[in-house]
Amino acid sequence: MAQMTPATVRLKPLFTRDEIADAVRRIAAAVQRDYDDKNPVLVGVLKGSFIFLADLVRQLEMSLEIDFVRLSSYGAGTQTSGQVRLVQKVERPLKGRHVLVVDDILDSGLTLKFLMDYLARQKPASLRLCVLLVKRGQQYVPITPDYHGLQMDEGFVVGYGLDWDQKYRNLPDICVVEMDGGI
Ligand code: IMP
Ligand code: MG
């Protein structure tokens, strides 16, 4: 691989680009069915959702708007810090709108629970959550996505928008990071 990778790090493919594309197609079909005439606002969570959101919206044949929020909870490590901060808010009012939050992965749920609670206070007509990937059994706050594409067990993954210390977002497949001595 052309990127700099420390000798002790291995990236093991978990979901190929074709499996991801199938999952995105399935989610898009469900979203299309549910939001067809609702002119929803899709709120992407930066930065991790940018590729998923881009692929998803290009399969939706409906009127919709796109906005972004940026939250910060992770530092350079691979464990959530538990501290969530809203770094960038949505630009337009969400009151009375059908809001669909789009994110890359549901892990502990802390970040997304914080965001969903924050958005609910803006009194949208509806508020749902769509994530590409769910880490099975890892949520320690009560949160269930309304749409999800893929599931994995514990581990840390990169690619298709997901980063490790801001790197590897550009990988077309989703890969597990394996490090000698653990991660
Ligand atoms: P949570 O609050 O623990 O659910 O984590 C939410 C955010 O952490 C996700 O939106 C990702 O940006 C990031 N994250 C969680 N797990 C992973 C992973 O395995 N790889 C890369 N980023 C992750
Ligand atoms: Mg994220």
pLDDT, tens only, 37-56? 999 999 999 999 999 999 99
Which atom from ligand 1 is nearest to the alpha carbon of 114? 2
Whole-number Å distance between alpha carbons of 135 and 150: 9
Counting residues of the chain whose pLDDT is more than 90, the rounded percentage is: 81
pLDDT of residue 115: 96
pLDDT of residue 3: 59
Whole-number Å distance between alpha carbons of 43 and 62: 16
- Which amino acid is it at 137? G
Counting residues of the chain whose pLDDT is more than 70, the rounded percentage is: 89
Which atom from ligand 1 is nearest to the alpha carbon of 111? 2
- Does the beta carbon of 171 lie inside 6 Å of ligand 1? no
What is the rounded average pLDDT for all residues in the chain?
A: 92
Q: Tokens representing 1?
A: 């691989």
Q: Measure 46 CA to ligand 2 centroid, in angstroms.
A: 6
DSSP string, the chain: --S---TTEEEEEEE-HHHHHHHHHHHHHHHHHHHTTS--EEEEEETTTHHHHHHHHTT--S--EEEEEEEE---SSSS--S--EEEE--SS--TT-EEEEEEEEESSSHHHHHHHHHHHTT--SEEEEEEEEEETT---SS---SEEEEEE-SS-EEBTTB-BTTBSTT-SSEEEEEETT--
Instruction: Calculate mean pLDDT across residues 10-36.
Output: 98
pLDDT of residue 128: 98
The one catalytic residue among 18, 107, 117, 165 = 107
Q: What's the pTM value of the predicted model, to 2 decimals?
A: 0.91
Report the first-to-last Cα separation within the chain, whole angstroms.
20
- Does the beta carbon of 113 lie inside 6 Å of ligand 1? no
Is residue 107 part of the annotated active site? The answer reads: yes
Question: Residue 183's pLDDT band (boundaries 50, 70, 90)?
Answer: low
Q: Measure 57 CA to ligand 2 centroid, in angstroms.
A: 18
Question: Residue 82's pLDDT band (boundaries 50, 70, 90)?
Answer: low
- Does the beta carbon of 174 lie inside 6 Å of ligand 1? no
- Does the beta carbon of 108 lie inside 6 Å of ligand 1? yes
Whole-number Å distance between alpha carbons of 159 and 20: 11
For residue 166, pLDDT beyond 80: yes
Which atom from ligand 1 is nearest to the alpha carbon of 84? 2
Question: Residue 30's pLDDT band (boundaries 50, 70, 90)?
Answer: very high
For residue 2, pLDDT beyond 90: no
pLDDT of residue 4: 59
Q: Measure 13 CA to ligand 2 centroid, in angstroms.
A: 20
